[in-house]
Every structure is written in structure tokens, then in C-alpha cells.
Amino acid sequence: MLYTLPSPVIFAHRGASAHAPENTLAAFELALQQGADAIELDVKLSADGVPVVIHDPTVDRTTDGSGTVSNLSLAALKELDAGEGQKIPTLDEVFSTVGGKILINVELTNYKTRDDQLVDKVVEVVKKHNLAEKIIFSSFLPKNLTRAAELLPQTPRGLLALPNLLGWFVRNILFKRGNYQALHPELRDARKKSIASTHRMGRRVHVWTVNKAEDMRRLADWGVDGIFTDDPELALKIFRK
């Protein structure tokens, strides 16, 4: 599915999060209604091992509760308000709502619980909904993507890179050595030369997080393959005139 979409692919970052609570069903449905090419979401495990969609390791910023996601049961997480009456969705609920209708970038975010069974649990949900060819995995952890490749070799994988010295190592060493279909650099690290170099490898570049019109236009001129944006409506106005 990834390879059949227009270029650059417009990924709604945590859904249409400029206009709806991030990583909620409302944000994902709005992105779909607005015409985004894809949505991006973050997944981690609840205390009882259920893949839930939330970005931070704690619920403090995005809900009316407090505590660490990995220490809270699904039932406890479901009691929280994630904004405007929305609840923290499970990955299963997201797939049931928008799966198959739009490409979904599933970021594997067990950065504080690296030895859990997140990848295996997520793959179970992907297989349940028959979405292996309608998603892309991404992560800052290469081992997550290696495991995903073992379980779902047909599903594309994007390696995320932070904007620091470690990010330079990821972009210039790990990415070139690894089996990835895409590089996901931060906006400040996106360069015309590096995009061209990645293309010569036969791989894609998806840049995060791009919310200004001038940045969108510049990246399009450089031939970027996709952008993650909180405002897919703005990106659509620029790219799909």
C-alpha cells in the first residue's frame, strides 16, 4: 500500500492532532475525513499486555490521570479522559475503525520497557485484521524492526533517527547496514543531498514533524517521499492542489 500512494505521502501525525486530541479515534477519523494519505500512531503495552495507542510513557500529559502506562491495566487506562471525552484506544480498536481504509504507520514505542513483548503482541493484532500489507512499522529501536521483519517480512519498516550525535550514527551507519525500507529523520536533519543519497540506495525518506508550509514546499522540491504532520489539512492544500 505504501508504494501506491501519492508522493509525498501525507502522514497525519498521531492523527489530525492539530484539530483533535492526539492518538485518539477522533483524531484518526478526522485525518481520514480530511483526506490524509496515512496516519501515524504510537503503541505500547498496558500492564496486562494489551497494545494501547498513546505516545508518552506516562498518561500525565495527554489525559486527566497520572501514572506510567506499563503500570496501568487496560481497565484503568480506559477510565481516563484523553481529551474532549475521548478514551485511550487499543490498537485493535484503531484497526477496527480505520484499518484497511488508510495506511497506518505503527511506531513501536517500548523505549522504557525494551524487553517486553510489544512487537509480538502488535503483530498478533495486525494478523487478526489482515493488515500486514497496509501498515508500516517504525521505531527508534533497531531490534524492534528486526523482530517485526522476522514475523512480518512483507511489512515495510522505517528507522527513526533523533536530531543529535546518536541520530547521526543512526542515519549514516545503522540505517545503511540494516534492512529498512525507509529512513525517518527529524526535520532539521533533512537535507537535499541526504535524501538523494537515500534514494540511490533504493530507499525512502519520511520526515517528521513538518507543520509549516515553507518546510513542506522545500521538502517536496527536494523529492522527499513523505512527511509526518499534525496538520494534514494544510499539507493537502499544498501538495494536492
Catalytic residues: 13, 55
Query: Under DSSP, is residue 125 helix (H, G, I), strand (E, B) or coil?
Result: helix
Angle formed by the axes of helices 232-239 and 25-34, to 10°?
Answer: 20
DSSP 24-84: SHHHHHHHHHHT-SEEEEEEEE-TTS-EEE-SSSBSTTTSS--SBGGGS-HHHHHTS--ST
Q: Write down the H helix ranges in 51-191.
A: 74-78, 91-98, 118-128, 142-151, 165-169, 175-177
Enumerate residues 6+ apart whose C-beta is below 8 A from 48: 73, 74
Contact (CB, 8 A) for 12 and 39: yes
Read off the amino acid at residue 109: T
